[in-house]
C-alpha cells in the first residue's frame, strides 16, 4: 500500500485550479499556462492544476497525430519542455491534465503507419522533474445523435496502469476526464492511499450539463477524498466546445469552488458573461477533512466487495 505524504507539513495547502480554452496553437496555450502559473504564485499556491488538452486541442484526428509530443525520453519536446520551464520558473508543482504523447501502438498492427498517441497526465515538480506519468485508460468513444460524436480511440491508445503520486499537498489519484464514469478506478486509487482525486477534463456540453457535478461529488463522497477537476471551457474550434465548471469538491461532497460555464452557475464569476479564459481559482484545502470524513463514516472498514 502506498502511504502518503512524506512532504506535507501541516494539513492546509493552497491550490490553484485552471479553466482554459485551449486551441491548436501550442504557443498561445503555453502562454496561457504561464499566465496562470504567475497568478497562482502571486496568490501563494503550492500547486497548479491544468485540464485535459491543456497545451493542444486539435481540429482533426490527423492534426492531433501530427502534432503530438514525441515520447517522453526524447530530447526535443516542445510542450513538456515548456511546462517544465514554467514549473521551474514559478516554483509550483504542476498537474498537466492531458497532453498528447506519440509512440502508442496502432489500432491495427497490420497498419503500423497509423500510430496513435497516449492521452497523458503528467505531474511535474517545482524543479521540472516528471514525478508521475498516467496514460488515460478509458477512451471516450461516444455517439449521441445530434449532440456528441467523438471517437477518441481513433487517435489514442488506452493506458493500462492506475497511478497515485505523492506531492506537497497530499497523495494524488491521477486520472483524466472520461475515467470519471468508472468508479472502480477511484476505489482502487483510494485503497492505494489517494487523498485527492484529480479529474482534469474537456467535457462536452450535453454530458456535462447532465452529469458533471453529480459524478464529481459522488467520487468525492464515496471515496472521502478531495476532488480537483480543472476544465476546458468555451469554443476551441468550429467543431468543438467544452462545458467548463472547473470544480473543487471537499471529502464531504461540498463544492468549494466552481469556475462556471455558459449556463452561469459559478461561485467565482457572478454571471456567465464575466467568464474569461484563462482563469484560475485559488482555494485552501485541509487534509484533516479527509480524516474526519473517514472517521464519521468508516466506509473503508465496511467494504464487503470480497464477500459477494
Chain residues that interact with ligand KGT, rule: CB under 6 A: 52-53, 57, 64, 98, 119, 140, 150, 152, 177-178, 181, 202-204, 207
The dihedral built from the CA positions of residue 180, 183, 188 and 190, taken in this order, carries a sign that is: positive
Residue showing the smallest CB distance to ligand KGT in the complex: 207
Closer by beta carbon to ligand KGT, 152 or else 250: 152
230 within 8 A of 237, measured Cβ to Cβ = no
In the bound complex, what is the minimum distance in angstroms from residue 196's beta carbon to ligand KGT?
Answer: 20
Pick the catalytic residue: 54, 136, 152, 163?
Answer: 136
Task: Return the number of other C-beta atoms located less than 10 Å from residue 193's C-beta.
Answer: 17
Closer by beta carbon to ligand KGT, 195 or else 204: 204
Q: Among 204, 156, 153, which Cα is nearest to 181's?
A: 204
In the bound complex, what is the minimum distance in angstroms from residue 193's beta carbon to ligand KGT?
Answer: 26
186 within 8 A of 197, measured Cβ to Cβ = yes
Q: Grid coordinates in use for 77?
A: 519536446
Buried b (16+ CB within 10 A) or exposed e, 150-174: bebeebbbebeebbbbbbbbbbbbb
Q: Among 230, 282, 280, which Cα is nearest to 50's?
A: 230
Look up 177 and say whether it is catalytic: yes
Q: What's the burial of 79, exposed, middle or buried (CB within 10 Å: 0-12/13-18/19+)?
A: buried
In the bound complex, what is the minimum distance in angstroms from residue 102's beta carbon to ligand KGT?
Answer: 12
In the bound complex, what is the minimum distance in angstroms from residue 268's beta carbon to ligand KGT?
Answer: 22
Pick the catalytic residue: 36, 52, 55, 165?
Answer: 52
Look up 160 and say whether it is catalytic: no
Closer by beta carbon to ligand KGT, 119 or else 283: 119
Look up 136 and say whether it is catalytic: yes
Give the Cα separation of 279 and 285 in Å (integer). 19
Pick the catalytic residue: 54, 55, 177, 225?
Answer: 177
In the bound complex, what is the minimum distance in angstroms from residue 46's beta carbon to ligand KGT?
Answer: 27
173 within 8 A of 180, measured Cβ to Cβ = no
Q: Among 128, 116, 25, 140, which Cα is nearest to 62's?
A: 116
Which residues are identified as catalytic? 52, 136, 177
Amino acid at each position: 500500500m502506498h502511504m502518503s505524504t512524506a512532504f506535507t507539513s501541516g494539513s492546509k495547502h493552497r491550490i490553484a485550479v485552471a479553466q482554459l480554452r485551449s486551441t491548436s496553437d501550442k504557443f498561445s496555450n503555453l502562454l496561457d499556462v504561464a499566465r496562470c502559473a504567475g497568478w497562482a504564485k502571486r496568490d501563494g499556491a503550492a500547486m497548479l492544476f491544468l485540464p485535459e488538452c491543456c497545451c493542444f486541442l486539435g481540429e482533426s484526428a490527423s492534426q492531433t497525430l501530427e502534432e503530438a509530443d514525441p515520447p517522453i525520453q526524447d530530447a526535443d519536446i516542445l510542450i513538456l519542455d515548456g511546462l517544465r520551464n514554467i514549473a521551474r520558473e514559478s516554483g509550483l508543482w504542476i498537474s498537466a491534465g492531458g497532453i498528447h504523447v506519440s509512440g502508442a501502438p496502432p489500432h491495427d498492427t497490420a497498419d503500423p503507419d497509423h500510430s496513435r498517441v497516449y492521452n497523458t497526465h503528467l505531474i511535474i515538480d517545482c524543479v521540472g522533474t516528471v514525478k508521475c506519468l498516467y496514460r488515460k485508460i478509458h477512451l471516450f468513444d461516444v455517439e449521441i445523435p445530434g449532440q456528441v460524436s467523438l471517437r477518441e480511440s481513433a487517435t489514442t491508445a488506452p493506458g493500462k496502469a492506475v497511478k497515485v503520486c505523492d506531492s506537497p499537498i497530499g497523495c494524488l489519484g491521477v486520472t483524466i476526464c472520461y475515467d470519471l464514469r468508472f468508479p472502480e478506478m477511484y476505489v482502487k486509487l483510494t485503497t492505494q492511499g489517494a487523498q485527492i482525486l484529480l479529474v482534469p477534463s474537456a467535457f462536452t456540453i450535453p454530458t456535462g450539463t447532465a452529469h458533471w457535478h453529480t459524478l464529481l461529488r459522488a467520487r468525492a463522497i464515496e471515496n472521502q477524498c478531495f476532488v480537483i477537476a480543472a476544465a476546458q471551457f468555451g469554443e476551441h474550434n468550429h467543431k468543438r466546445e467544452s462545458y467548463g465548471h472547473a470544480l473543487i469538491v471537499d471529502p464531504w461532497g461540498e463544492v468549494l469552488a466552481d469556475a462556471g460555464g455558459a449556463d452561469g452557475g459559478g461561485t467565482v464569476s457572478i454571471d456567465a458573461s464575466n467568464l474569461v479564459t484563462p482563469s484560475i481559482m485559488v482555494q485552501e484545502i485541509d487534509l484533516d477533512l479527509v480524516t474526519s470524513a473517514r472517521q464519521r463514516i468508516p466506509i473503508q472498514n465496511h467494504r464487503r466487495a470480497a464477500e459477494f
